[in-house]
Chain A
Amino acid sequence: MILSVCVGSSCHLKGSYDVIEAFKKLIAEHAEGKIELRACFCLGRCADGVSVKADDKYILGVNGANAEEKFMGEILPLLG
């Protein structure tokens, strides 16, 4: 799976880098080799940042504090 975290201005201000760091750790713990973490500019959902895209699915409103919850609850299950 390709997991893209928006690093555009709006998401950056809302803490993209915290989300990336959290995801890096979570991927290493739970999904090593199965998820490729990427950064991208603007997913077009600036008001709902930090915006994340797991393949084609949007996961919105992510931040450093809820990154683990979102990852375990919404992203990991997508791996099937």
Chain B
Amino acid sequence: MENRLFDTAVQELKYKVLKELICAYDKGLDNSIYHDIPIKIMPGPKASLRCCVYKERAILQERLKLAMGGDKTNKNVVEVIDIACDECPVNGVFVTPACRGCITHRCAEVCPKNAITIVDKRCVVDKEKCIECGKCTQACPYNAIILQKRPCVASCKANAISVNADKKAVINNDKCVGCGACVYQCPFGAIADKSYILDALDILKGSENNKKYKVYALIAPAIVAQFNYAKIEQVVSGMKQLGFFDVVETALGADMTLSEEAEELKERGVLTSSCCPSFVKFVEINFPDLKKYVSSTPSPMVMAARLLKTMDPTGKVIFVGPCTSKKFEFQSDAAKEFVDCVISFEELQAFLDARNIDVSTLPETVLDNASYYGRIFARSGGLSEGVAALAEKSGFKAAPIAMSGLEECKKQLLMLKVGRSPYNFFEGMACEGGCVNGALCLHHGPKSLTDVNRYGAEAKEKTVENTVKLFKLAGAVTKEPEPEA
């Protein structure tokens, strides 16, 4: 059961806390967990990660608090753990001893702010003038100049992270889009996502083995790239052992989202996707003029949950995904009626291990609800491909662009804003590469993309046609085509 493929030790720490919390839940929670769980994870007496074992344990207490839902007064699903923040130096641009004191001074020539002067044959940066554009770091033939940004600040493409007087990271909630990039990037694990695992456990427990109501797990398609020590069919068996009545692909909702967005594009002419809530938030905050282009189609998660709730009105839906932003989306007005809880892949792994379920030893349970197109939503470009195919079928041309990561989104949205964009459909994903690289994936890498494509190709349904029929039959369609005038 060891040898999990987490990318980082920080993920593993978070996982250990979650696992111990779930074990404690099963025995009956009480206040002793704040004392016992940190000691169990960091028995000491020597510190292995920080200055002393007491600090390590204090940080674990904070992680435990986040695992139990975090600060209820803070609406953001991502929080800074102050005492875990290592106050990384914020030197900005700085010149290393590798500077040879050459005579061309490309660094000074390229600087747009004239912040570089040559003193005693060496490059000196005026911090007052420097805007940290990084051009000099590229220009120096000896790579002698480096731009040192805090990993959290560098990771945040929404410019929501700053450093306060105590040198601690601070998240500006008015700018934060909840993508979770900082959660994955902070090398000290000082920024973390809140967990709703206790709510999920309560929902499952309250169902009394699906007798009082049924609990459905909606799994995001990125899951195929996650549990690489087992088959997805075994993971489904494991989830049923955890108490889920059935496991349904969110990709089924993606099929429907795709169909409705293609219709919408035909009507409206220019459209951006709406499946990534962090992207939508990014547009709202940074490009309010472009908000009118954002699709009004519900995201695949909401769409699939709506189908489940129309088919089984007393059922409960727990979404399992790679994503911090789904953790705030499910609490929004558009989703809260349909989605009862969201947990991450990391949390699912902890849940399975807390219950001693080794999925690699289980028999397989088939998983097949959605089409090829719904499944490839998990990667950047999947939605665009689907929209282009549907558009062609109904006789109009879509010119889609897959914007992968917020930097790319910003670039393309600027073009749209000034009316210079050659595209009419804008697929926006906050995470580079799409959901398959989501912040709460167990691991990230190029192999994930291959996994998603293979999973897509394995779907029985090659088009979204049958899914659309199913939604119509269930009465879960959100947009009826306008009757012809």
- Which A residues contact B (CB, under 8 angstroms)? 7-10, 12-13, 17, 20, 37-42, 46
Contacts and interface: CB of A to CB of B under 8 A. Distances in A.
B308 A41 contact: yes
B473 A38 contact: yes
A12 B369 contact: yes
A37 B247 CA distance: 23
Question: Ordered nearest first, which 9 A-B pairs have the shortest CB separation?
Answer: A42-B246, A9-B368, A17-B466, A9-B366, A41-B246, A9-B367, A10-B366, A13-B368, A12-B368
B248 interface: yes
A38 B312 CA distance: 11
Contact of B460 (A12, A20, A40): A12
Contacts of B236: 9
Contacts of B460: 12-13
Contact of A17 (B216, B365, B469): B469
B414 interface: no
A51 to B, nearest CB: 13
B470 A40 contact: no
A27 to B, nearest CB: 12
Contacts of A42: 245-246
A41 B248 contact: yes
B311 interface: yes
Nearest to A20: B473
A67 to B, nearest CB: 15
19 contacts: A7-B369, A8-B248, A8-B369, A9-B236, A9-B247, A9-B366, A9-B367, A10-B366, A13-B366, A13-B368, A13-B460, A17-B470, A20-B470, A20-B473, A39-B470, A39-B474, A41-B216, A46-B365, A46-B366
A46 B246 CA distance: 11
Nearest to A5: B473
Interface string B443-485: 0000000000000000010000010011001100000000000
SS of B interface (majority): mixed
A9 to B, nearest CB: 5
B368 A38 contact: no
A43 to B, nearest CB: 10
A10 B245 CA distance: 14
B368 A7 contact: no
Nearest to B216: A41
A17 B472 CA distance: 13
Contacts, number: 47
Interface string B84-124: 00000000000000000000000000000000000000000
Interface in B236-262: 236, 245-248
A46 B247 CA distance: 13
A38 B366 contact: no
A9 B473 contact: no
Nearest to B245: A42
Contacts of B247: 9
A7 B312 contact: no
Given A39-B311, A42-B246, 15 more contacts: A7-B470, A8-B248, A8-B369, A9-B247, A9-B366, A10-B365, A10-B366, A12-B368, A12-B369, A13-B460, A17-B466, A38-B474, A39-B473, A41-B311, A41-B312
A10 B369 CA distance: 9
A48 to B, nearest CB: 14
A8 B266 CA distance: 32
Interface string B355-387: 000000000011111000000000000000000
A13 B366 CA distance: 9
Nearest to B248: A41
B470 A8 contact: no
Nearest to B366: A9
Contacts of B216: 41
Contacts of B312: 40-41
B311 A20 contact: no
Given A8-B246, A13-B460, A41-B312, A20 B469 contact: yes
Given A7-B470, A12-B460, A38 B245 contact: no
Contact of A40 (B311, B365, B369, B466): B311
Nearest to B252: A7
A27 B368 CA distance: 27
A38 B310 CA distance: 10
A38 B311 contact: yes
Nearest to A15: B460
Nearest to A44: B245
A37 B469 CA distance: 13
Among A9, A17, A37, A38, the one with the most B-chain Cβ atoms within 10 Å of its Cβ is: A9
Contacts of A41: 216, 245-246, 248, 308, 311-312
